Amino acid sequence: MPLLRDARALLAPIEWNEPFGLILIEAMLSGCPVVAFGRGSVPEVVEHGVTGLIAESFEDMVRFIRPGGEVDQLSRRAIRAAAVARFNHRRMAAEYERLYNEVVIADTTRAGRWPITAA
């Protein structure tokens, strides 16, 4: 997506506990660094200094995005590579399947049923 690909950074000054942050992942997959507050899933999704920067204040955010600031030191290729490694469709599907099986196994332990297996 050119808008994200060509942006200096995606600013995400979220003040709520974002549960997943799909837009953060979309930016990183475009090679765009993320600058966000460390709320909700941000610390799990953004690797500080690699795929983006986690700010503790608006002052941090401003400092990070100034021309020549820390955001300009991040490698867009490394951002994309890290995002592809962590959030590609095969890995995401495998992780969801693993999680669903954990839930099913926990439930079947109580109910005496067999877990779901992949075909």
pLDDT, tens only, 74-83:
999 999 999 9
pLDDT digits (tens, 9 = 90+) for 25-53: 999 999 999 999 999 999 999 999 999 99
Q: Are 87 and 80 in contact (CB under 8 A)?
A: no
For residue 106, how many C-alpha atoms fall within 13 Å in the half-sphere facing its CB? 6
Token pair recorded at residue 17: 């506990």
Q: Which CATH class is domain 2-86?
A: alpha beta
Q: Where are the domains of the chain?
A: 2-86, 88-119
| DSSP annotation of 67 | T
Amino acid at 37: F
H-helix or E-strand containing 52? Answer: strand 52-55
Pairwise CA distance, residues 20 & 12, whole Å: 13
